[in-house]
Structure 1
Amino acid sequence: MPTHGVTRKVAEFTAGLRYEDLPAPVIEKARVCLLDYFGYAMYGCRATPINILFQTLADGGPCTVVGRTQTVSPLAAAFVNGAMGHVAEMDDTHRLSMAHLGDSVIPVVLAVAEATGADARRLIQAMVAGYDVAARAGEAVMPSHYYRGWHPSGSVNTLGTAAAAGNLLGLSVEQMQHALGVAGTQITGNFAHMPERGMVKDFNPGRAAFSGLLAARLAQNGFTGATDFMENPMGLALFGERVHEAAFLDRLGSHFKILEVSHKVYAACRHIHSAIDAALEINARQRPAADAVETVEVASWSHLAKLCDDPEPWRDAWYGPRFSTQFNVAVALVHGEPAVQAMFDQNQILRMLDDARVREIVPKIRVTVDRSMDDQFPTLWPARVTLVLKDGQRVSVRKDLARGEPEVPVGYDDIVRKFRQLGDLEGMPGEIQTGLIEAARRLPDVPVKEVTRLLRWNPPEREEAAHGRVAERAASPH
């Protein structure tokens, strides 16, 4: 077994990380990520893909599935809760790895802690380790990994969840090397689903949670894998043009990647957020009348155009609006920030899809590729929105990073407001909301079982408006 090399160093860091090693800002960031996850997971807990996964995977066990009273095995809980985090497009994001880390890592640490009785200090240390390994693995193979069609929330998250589970299970350094190798052989998740907006989008981070936890448990019981997966030419190197080993080693153990995570303030694919911010600035300067608009150009990097250039947001259920640059920019230009932020509510999405001014502007919006922005991605996620009016006026605004990035931060109170907004929409009683907010704020001085008890609150059945009624508009959207 190699006793040096990248995988060994990552395993030493991951197996050895303890709560006492974490600076106060890292612990505070973990609290924010947990509360953010509680909100967006609860809001997605009754979505159709999640219902199907739960019905398929539900078994017996001690672990909580968010929004359900029935408990299941750790593997089933990790899978369903992992998919749940991604379904509503409100999840945290690490831009350099292009992964939604919390979707997969948080379900794993909740499941393992609940099953083993680990306290919240160990949960937080494992969570930080998982975020770190997934983020570094993503950076190591970006951007070619993404351009080849891999879905990082399903692929590199698998390594992060193995690291998180392994830390919480108390794996030795050697066992952790095996866990990373077993996780690596399970890496999956691609973007083939995007043209059809398939439910498998949400499957991917759930599978990453399942696979990483499985890898750690197998390694704990003596199962072996490649102990040099990160540097092996038949390992991680298969998932990109090359492996940038410096991404793993740069300040490993002294700089924690969880601090680089951003939080969404709009319910849309993160790629669109810079364009939304630019459109909101134009709206704040001069709210354009829909019939006065000649054209709107949204210039950005090529992958935004590939994934989110959708002039027909009326199709594909709730995935359509959330992956349509045209729709989100139109709402921002016409109605401004309150309307955009209100689209956490599926019924607000329906109202905006029916809005005459939004419908008039959507066909006027063109998404174009600026090759200079390709060169800046993923360090920046830039977008430039240019509004041209029929009287010849022209307004152009560029945003290099969206709100919620560490450089354009939102605070804990912003996440609390987002959580309460989602809780209200889901019908969550105020005392449950307050209980989860206070539990997150007080961590690690709260028992994990108290957190999971609150997460088992069972929301009332509601019509999944955007999954049902949006599709009815597809035949005659205009």
Structure 2
Amino acid sequence: MKKAAQFIKYLRFSDLDESTIQSAKNCLLDFIGAVLSGANTKAGKIALKFAKISPGIGQSTLWPNGEKTSPQNAAFIHGTVGSALNIDDGHRMAAGHPGSVVIPAACSIAENNDSSGKELIEAIVCGYEVAVRSGELHRNDSSPFAVFPGSGRWGSIGAAAAVAKLLGLDSGKIEQAMAIGETFAPVSPIIDDLKIGIMPMTQYCSGWGALVGVNAALLAQEGFTGISTTIDFSKGSLPKFGESFEIKNTYFKPYPSCRWTHPSIEGIMELMKKHKELRKGTIKKISIRIFSIGSHLGEKRPQTMESAQYSLPFVIGAIITDGELNPDQFTEKRLNDSEILGIADKVELIYSPELDSYFPKSIPSEVEIETTSGQFYTTKIMTPKGDVTHPMSKEELLNKFRKLASRQIDSKTSEKVVGIVKNLDKLARASELFNLFKGSP
């Protein structure tokens, strides 16, 4: 933890290469889009309502409506709303979503404390570097995190790191901020629920992890301390702090569903595009061979929008029915769509031990479609679109943001956001970005 604290204390914008800076900007823009779109979900609306009944003093803007609130409220609400559609970024080795915890915490303090654009970028990078390494250790059986899954759990340490950087804490207090974040981190024991097809609105507690990160750093600033037996980053397999910037290995999601569903989505789309005879009426059975933890995504009758995001049968049914997958399909009305459910009933998930060897560096799926005439069509997708080895293009990322943002702000404001994020390192005040949301609905 001491070396992590030293890394955070002494990292400067001038230490970052252009690729790392651009990655931070991409992550920020992508998450803003996720928040603006997520505000239209049931969970998003509840979270925004919560801000009204849990008022706070501060200058942090709620992006979906332009209202001002405390940094704590802003961090919690943006983290919750930004993960509601399951379209926020992720990291393969962390097996989760650092952005939905780190970015809302960093942005809320950067605006409240009148930080510069460069300072916000430094904080985001520090937060991702800590969060990703925490997440990687979280999967290690020797880690105290192993039995407590969830991005909020390990991401809270990264959020604390980001905020500590913005507050200019010394190395000792940075270390305590992370220790407090580790102590107060939320627990998301949802694996048993996931096995029976349920995903609650809390999901992986990203919002609460962001809130913990903010409070941890603010407490450390005043001399509060955390546990002494903190996470040992030296036990991780990722390069040491400063030897690589893992934020550059972030993946971005083209579809609003669990990342583990994406290889199957792309396999279905590939086969149907290649073989014109494949249509809804000609499909008899769809077999998906998948790694162990992904095999839990087999619920055919999800009861909530959140559960549908983790249902491979529903997702496949939606993309075959509509020819695309977007946030509009994840509504309560569509949960009972007979065409989607008719396809979902034909989907079978098969656990393939062979595919476990690739996880988490890769999340492969093998797709086989059997037709009513007895024909079989198969494909194997090793790396879905959006991973660092199969990236979304600059234009694809921008179009994703524009489509998500259009659910909450007009195109003129959307383009202003794009322009300011592009030039974030030139801003004397990061608040210039967040002031754009003053006119939001």
Is 1:439 the counterpart of 2:420 in the alignment?
yes
Distance 1:359 1:246 in 2: 43
Unaligned runs of 5+ in 1: 1-6, 232-242, 460-478
Q: How many residues align?
A: 431
| 1:46-445 to 2 correspondences below 5 Å | 46-49=40-43, 50-142=47-139, 144=141, 150-192=148-190, 194=194, 195-201=197-203, 204-227=205-228, 229-231=230-232, 245-247=235-237, 250-287=239-276, 288-306=278-296, 308-313=297-302, 315-316=303-304, 318-333=305-320, 335-336=322-323, 339-340=324-325, 343-346=326-329, 354=337, 356=339, 358-426=340-408, 428-445=409-426
Distance 1:346 1:58 in 2: 33
Distance 1:51 1:25 in 2: 34
Contact 2:185 2:209 in 1 (8 A): yes
Unaligned runs of 5+ in 2: none
Distance 2:228 2:25 in 1: 32
Say which SS state the counterpart of residue 211 (structure 1) adopts. helix
Distance 2:163 2:66 in 1: 24
Tell me what 1:475 maps to: none
Greater than 6 Å deviation, 4+ residue runs: none
Q: Shift of the alpha carbon at 1:331?
A: 3.4
- In structure 2, the CA distance between the partners of 1:88 and 1:271, relative to structure 1 (3 Å rule), is same
Distance 1:224 1:149 in 2: 25
Q: Shift of the alpha carbon at 1:200?
A: 1.6
- In structure 2, the CA distance between the partners of 1:327 and 1:149, relative to structure 1 (3 Å rule), is farther
Contact 2:318 2:329 in 1 (8 A): no
Q: Shift of the alpha carbon at 1:353?
A: 5.7
Say which SS state the counterpart of residue 90 (structure 1) adopts. coil
Q: Shift of the alpha carbon at 1:178?
A: 1.1
Which string of whole-angstrom CA distances, capped at 9 and with x for unpartnered residues, describes residues 179-202 of structure 1?
A: 111111112231425444322216
Amino acid at match of 2:319: A
Q: Shift of the alpha carbon at 1:424?
A: 2.3
Say which SS state the counterpart of residue 368 (structure 1) adopts. strand
User: Scaled by the length of structure 2, what TM-score is found?
Assistant: 0.92
Q: Shift of the alpha carbon at 1:431?
A: 1.3
RMSD: 2.2
- In structure 2, the CA distance between the partners of 1:322 and 1:163, relative to structure 1 (3 Å rule), is same
Contact 1:18 1:125 in 2 (8 A): yes
Amino acid at match of 1:361: I
Q: Shift of the alpha carbon at 1:350?
A: 5.0
Contact 1:290 1:360 in 2 (8 A): no
Contact 1:29 1:258 in 2 (8 A): yes
Distance 1:181 1:88 in 2: 30
Percent of aligned positions with the same letter in both sequences? 25
Q: Shift of the alpha carbon at 1:419?
A: 1.3
Distance 1:79 1:352 in 2: 28
Contact 1:296 1:386 in 2 (8 A): yes
